[in-house]
Amino acid sequence: MSSTIEAINALRKKTGAGIMDCKKALKVSEGDFEQAIAFLRKKGKKILESRTDRDTKEGAIFIDINPQKTVGVMIALGCETDFVAKNSDFKNLGQWINDAILHHFNPHTALDIQTITSFTKELMTVQEKMIEVMGKIGEKITLNDFAIIQEDLVIPYIHTGNTIGTLVGIQGGKKIENIFEIGQNIAMQIAAMYPIAVDEHGVEQHILQKELSIAKAQAQEEGKPLAIIEKIAQGRIKKFLQENTLLNQNFVQDSTLTVQQYLKKINPNLQITTFKRLAIT
């Protein structure tokens, strides 16, 4: 296939690259279509190598769930500029990666995700697809984080601006008529209040020990009597758990209720079993 208008258009359709890049790729490959695609992908690798020191503090959160609403996947995809974060090619990449994860389900590390091969006709790994898009947009892209939830019901939420996302795992909610709205309310609570666990039982021990040490040190600095420092510290730990565990937090839409009370008011069997929150920071 020579470097004709038809060939250039075909290559653009296949790769999404610009006209000049496609023209150059076909010229270098002497009209060989597959070699031209390989040339464009190498361009993406060169961009990644040349920009290794660039920060990817911008980006977006992408979420997808399976048709049964029992599995949810979420990724934080990073880029260098806010302009690229709003680019359609970047957004399509985020959706493409989520689709690949949903088909394979439950990779344990970001490296596993990058080696996933898509089930689409492109037959590319996530890493290869990211490199291809980098070649097109000319900017470093990174998979900063990911989360997967499997539960009886999974409800997603992305906050305005696409920089904060949450997944909520729910049990006992399938027969509740407005469960999606309820789940979204909980998801917005998580996005806004950033709890560290569902309840006090989910808080890691090292976090509690750290907070207890801080509380004791503060009480000592305040000149509290040694005999009551432990009691004061335990009281502050209780407050810490109230403020930082989802079910014990005041419900943002009605501060007269905790989240737990809000759920029980709807249905005593309604349970939040897990959640994930990702943010572009």
Query: How many other β-carbons are positioned within 10 Å of the β-carbon of residue 184?
Result: 16
What is the per-residue pLDDT for 1?
A: 43
What is the per-residue pLDDT for 191?
A: 96
Return the higher-pLDDT residue of 257 and 118.
257
What is the per-residue pLDDT for 200?
A: 94
* Amino acid symbol at 173: G
What is the per-residue pLDDT for 280?
A: 94
Task: Give the start-end residues of each E strand in the chain.
Answer: 58-65, 71-79, 141-150, 153-158, 164-171, 250-251, 254-258, 271-279
Return the higher-pLDDT residue of 281 and 189.
189
| CA angle, residues 192, 78, 96, in degrees to nearest 5 | 100
Q: What is the pLDDT of residues 5-24, one digit of tens each?
A: 777 777 666 666 666 777 77
What is the per-residue pLDDT for 59?
A: 96
Query: How many other β-carbons are positioned within 10 Å of the β-carbon of residue 158?
Result: 18
SS3 276: strand
Burial class from Cβ neighbours inside 10 Å (0-12, 13-18, 19+) for residue 72 reads buried
What is the per-residue pLDDT for 2?
A: 47
**Length of the chain, please?**
281
- Cα dist from 71 to 148, 152, 247, whole Å: 7, 9, 22
Closest CA to 163 of 278, 258, 55: 278
Does the global pTM surpass 0.85? no
* Average of per-residue pLDDT across 90-95: 94
Rounded distance, CA 23 to CA 15, Å?
A: 12
* Domains of the chain in sequence order: 5-50 (1.10.8.10), 52-150 (3.30.479.20), 152-197+252-281 (3.30.479.20), 204-244 (1.10.286.20)
Closest CA to 141 of 98, 89, 65: 89
129 within 8 A of 244, measured Cβ to Cβ = no
Q: What sign results for the dihedral spanned by CA atoms 175, 178, 182, 184?
A: positive
